[in-house]
Each structure stands twice: as structure tokens, then as C-alpha cells.
Amino acid sequence: MVTVETIGRIRRAFLVDHKPIRQIVRELRISRKTVRKAIRGSSTEFRYERGVQPQPRLGEFVGRLDGLLEANSKRPARERLTAQRLFELLRAEGYRGAYDSMQRHVRAWRRARSQRGEVFIPLWFAPGEAYQFDWSHEVVVLGGVTTTVKVAHIRLCYSRMFLVRAYPRETQEMVFDAHDHAFGLFGGMCRRGIYDNMTTAVDAVFLGKERRFNRRFLRMCSHYPSRFASRHLSITRGAGCHGLRLSRTASFVS
């Protein structure tokens, strides 16, 4: 199955990096038919609807496996059971599924509970290399009534040119609209976008730089062929917050 992220990589390689189809096929190890479908069509997602979803054999043992993993995580490192040993314990209790199915669940469980590692972003950018996106909450007077609005800030990392646009909420529709207006103002787009771990873009944060991005956000990134990087909130205390303060001062602080 071709994922939304793979489609985005194909489109960026062809439209941004100007790589030939043969090179894309070789680098991504996918068929020419898939590459042509991704670059010639307007769809940013290939959907396959399964008629009947089979019930995995692991289903009734998930609770038991989670309990074993939780207890195992509290043991000293040298005494923890391996995935193979956990598989043997489940087999003894009646599990008849494959080891691979259980191992995938174990890996997902460990990733979800891993502590977040430190993340760093560069402070120097080439022209057209990257933009930053962030939100702020501002108190304004609308029709004589004091209210709080959500403000989208999109700033070019090299020139510091920015767009500030206010919305009533922080929904995905507002995120997409802000990007559309920003790229129209800038007259194009950058090769990379830098975002906070906002819920409209990131579904889950794993160890280090690993993220599970929201499907609709990935489709937007595929529509605008740019790479994206997600940064932890504490990173915004540096250059990101400095740019945010500048745009807030120019737009809202008198």
C-alpha cells in the first residue's frame, strides 16, 4: 500500500528536485506505474477499502500483552523479558498467532511510551529553504466587544518576511487557509516547513524526531511539495519565538 507520505516524497522528488522517473523508482523501490499515477494525478492519497476486515488473532490477548509489557518495563534492565520470551508466554496461554504480529504490537507499545529526546533546529537558513509556522492568542476588540482570537504566523526563515492572519479557532481548515494565503503572498513556497507539535498536524510524538503526522496534514504537504520538520515546544523559545514576538509587535502591540 502506498502511503500519503510516500506520495508526497514522489511529488517532491519530481516537481521540486526535478528527478527523472527512473531515479525515483530506483530510490523509493516502487513501480513506474505508481510514480506516474502520483505525479500525473491530482490525488494526494490512494485509498483502498477492504470489504471485510479480518479479526487478528492477537485481539483477545492485547490486554494480557499490555499488562506483561507494563510489568516488564518496571523491572531492572538486565531482568526484562525479550519479545521472544513474551511470545512464548502468550503461546503457553493459548495464543496461536504469528510472532511478527505480536512483535509489531510490542514495538508500537514501546514507541508510544518512550521519552521524548532533545531536538535542535538550525539558526541559519538559505534563501527559499524553510518557513516557520506557529500560533498565538491575542486579545482584540471586535465591534466594541473584547474577545480572544487565534493568530497564525508564517515566517520565511531567511528574509523574515511574514504573514499574520487571525481566526476564531485553531482547526485544520484554518491551518490550510493560512498556508494558502501565505504562499500567495510570498509568491511561492519553501522546500521545508518547521512546525510545533500542534495537534492539527501531529497525532503522536515518539522518541527523537519520529512523529506520526495527521493524514489530512500530510495531504496538504503533498499538495504543496515541501518537506516538513516537527519541533518540540521548548525549541520555540529560541529563534521561533523571536520571530513570533516581532510579528506580534508589528501587528497587535501598540
**Ordered per-residue pLDDT tens for the chain, 254 residues:** 678 888 888 888 998 889 999 999 999 988 998 898 888 877 777 666 655 545 467 778 888 888 899 888 888 877 888 889 999 998 898 888 888 888 888 888 888 877 555 555 567 788 888 899 988 888 888 888 999 999 999 999 889 899 999 999 888 899 999 999 999 999 888 888 888 878 888 888 776 667 788 888 888 888 877 665 554 333 333 444 455 555 555 555 44
Which CATH number applies to 130-251?
3.30.420.10
pLDDT given at position 215: 85
- Measured between alpha carbons, how far is 1 from 48 in angstroms, rounded to an integer? 8
- Measured between alpha carbons, how far is 122 from 138 in angstroms, rounded to an integer? 28
- Measured between alpha carbons, how far is 254 from 244 in angstroms, rounded to an integer? 16
pLDDT given at position 237: 35
Strands (E), the chain: 130-142, 145-156, 162-167, 192-196, 202-205, 211-213, 227-231
Element (H, E) at 85: helix 83-92
pLDDT given at position 88: 92
What CA dihedral angle connects 226, 229, 230 and 233, to 10 degrees?
A: -110
Structure-block grid coordinates of residue 221:
504537504
List the alpha helices (DSSP H) in 94-226: 99-112, 172-186, 215-223
- Burial of 170 by CB count in 10 Å (0-12 exposed, 13-18 middle, 19+ buried)? middle
pLDDT given at position 248: 57
Helix %, strand %, coil % of the chain (to 5): 45, 20, 35
- Measured between alpha carbons, how far is 174 from 191 in angstroms, rounded to an integer? 22
Q: How far is CA 118 from the centre of its chain?
A: 17
pLDDT given at position 238: 40
